[in-house]
């Protein structure tokens, strides 16, 4: 898909609205090429659509042109065509170059749950950068140890188990670490995960993220998770309603272990082919779905009986996003990782 900017073009039959710079969007109509940036000298068979967006300023148009040429074509960036450009932020708002405020209902997928430009967080960050920024990992600094201790002590108090903290720089990387921990602890490389679950875009995280869209271009994923229906009561996959359903969906998961012919359990060896079940206590990217608590208490007990670890992905819902430090605290279970 290519973007071209023209000062003169209009689409036939379309009444022009006031605008600063008209934007022409060319859509590559050839099957299989959607989403791939194409050179400006595109074949004339491509459809041209005139986007009359009065908010598209010269600066924004220039940025979009540069983005088209030089930025990797992450599909997330192009959920909107053309992508929206912001220049500033404050609290719960993002601002475009006209100063128009946009209320961010998602807060950067929960990465900014404490608000943009939070003065306390910004001051702490500045203090640390001025004092001693991140160090090579063979050295220690006080803040790393102190934060690890506070998180581990909180978990011990809340869940009654001792543990350690491994830091990493992003969600997908944390998921990669957890996959290694599961493999190290269980010797298994296959996982259960939820349909609608999102765990990131690295290769390992893509294998346990349900959307095929994220894997489609990259060949075979030998570690692709076995995906299980998320307990999404509002749109129950079985067409049932609570409480009459008696959490039927968890019962279906449990049935997988009733016979070796259901493909996940060797009853003679008492062993599952799967090392862990990856959960989101509130499904984020999959639609902000709040599950029934009983589902997870039962799931935990099913997993415990079959020696399957629970990995709690709090990348989006942790750190008070749901009111508690960890979202899993609402569910009354203790995850393993």
Ligand X SMILES: Cc1ncc(COP(=O)(O)O)c(C=O)c1O
The answer to the question of residue 284 lying near ligand X (CB under 6 A) is yes
Residues 75-114 that bind ligand X (CB under 6 A): 109
Q: Give min distance, CB of 8 to ligand X, in A.
A: 41
- Of 120-128, 144-152, 166-174, 248-256: span binding ligand X (CB under 6 A): 166-174
Kindly state the smallest distance separating residue 201's Cβ from ligand X, in Å: 6
SS3 92: coil
In sequence order, the 6+-apart residues with CB closer than 8 A to the CB of 326 are 155, 158, 281, 312, 314, 317, 318
Please identify, using beta-carbon distances, which residue of 106 and 301 lies nearer to ligand X: 106
**Long-range contacts made by residues 26-29, C-beta under 8 angstroms, separation at least 24?**
26/1, 26/2, 27/1, 28/1, 28/2
Binding residues for ligand X, how many (CB under 6 A)?
14
Considering only residues 264 through 283, tell me which ones interact with ligand X, judged by CB under 6 A: 280
Among 28, 313, 327, 335, binds ligand X (CB under 6 A): 313
Count of H helices and E strands in the chain?
A: 8, 12
Residue from the set 23, 175, 191, 208 that interacts with ligand X by CB under 6 A? 175
Q: Does 321 bind ligand X (CB under 6 A)?
A: no
Kind of pairing, strands 274-279 and 309-312?
parallel
Residues near 179 by beta carbon (within 8 Å), at least 6 away in sequence = 191, 204, 208
Cα separation, 197 vs 313, whole angstroms:
10
What does the per-residue mask of binding to ligand X show for 189-228, with x meaning CB under 6 A?
Answer: ---------xxx----------------------------
- Whichever of 82 and 200 has its CB closer to ligand X, that residue is 200
Sign of the dihedral defined by the CA atoms of residues 41, 44, 45, 48, in that order: positive
Q: Which residues bind to ligand X, rule: CB under 6 A? A: 109, 170-172, 175, 198-200, 280, 284-285, 313, 315-316
């Amino acid at each position: 898909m290519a973007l071209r900017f023209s000062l003169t073009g209009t689409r036939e039959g379309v009444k022009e609205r006031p605008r600063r710079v008209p934007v022409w969007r060319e859509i590559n109509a050839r099957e299989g090429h959607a989403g791939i940036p194409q050179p400006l000298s595109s074949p004339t068979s491509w459809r041209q659509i005139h986007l009359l967006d009065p908010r598209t300023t010269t600066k924004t148009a220039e940025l979009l042109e540069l983005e088209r040429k030089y930025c990797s074509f992450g599909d997330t960036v192009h959920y909107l065509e053309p992508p929206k450009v912001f220049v500033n932020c404050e609290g719960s708002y993002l601002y475009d170059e006209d100063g128009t405020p946009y209320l961010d209902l998602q807060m950067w997928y929960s990465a900014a749950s404490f608000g943009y430009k939070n003065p306390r967080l910004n001051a702490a960050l500045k203090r640390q950068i001025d004092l001693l920024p991140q160090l090579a990992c063979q050295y220690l600094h006080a803040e790393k140890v102190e934060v690890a201790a506070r998180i581990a002590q909180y978990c011990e108090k809340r869940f009654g188990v001792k543990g350690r903290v491994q830091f990493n720089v992003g969600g997908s990387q944390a998921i990669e670490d957890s996959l290694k921990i599961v493999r190290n602890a269980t010797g298994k490389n296959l996982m259960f995960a939820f349909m609608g679950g999102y765990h990131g875009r690295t290769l390992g995280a893509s294998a346990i993220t349900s959307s095929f869209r994220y894997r489609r271009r990259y060949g075979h994923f030998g570690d692709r998770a076995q995906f299980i229906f998320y307990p999404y009561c509002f749109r129950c996959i079985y067409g049932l309603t609570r409480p009459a359903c008696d959490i039927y969906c968890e019962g279906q998961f449990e049935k997988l272990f009733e016979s070796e012919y259901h493909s996940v359990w060797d009853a003679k060896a008492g062993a599952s082919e799967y090392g862990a079940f990856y959960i989101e206590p509130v499904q984020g990217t999959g639609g902000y779905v709040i599950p029934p608590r009983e589902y997870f208490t039962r799931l935990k007990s099913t997993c415990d009986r079959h020696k399957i670890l629970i990995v709690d992905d709090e990348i989006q819902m942790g750190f008070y996003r749901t009111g508690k430090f960890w979202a899993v605290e609402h569910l009354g279970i203790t995850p393993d990782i």
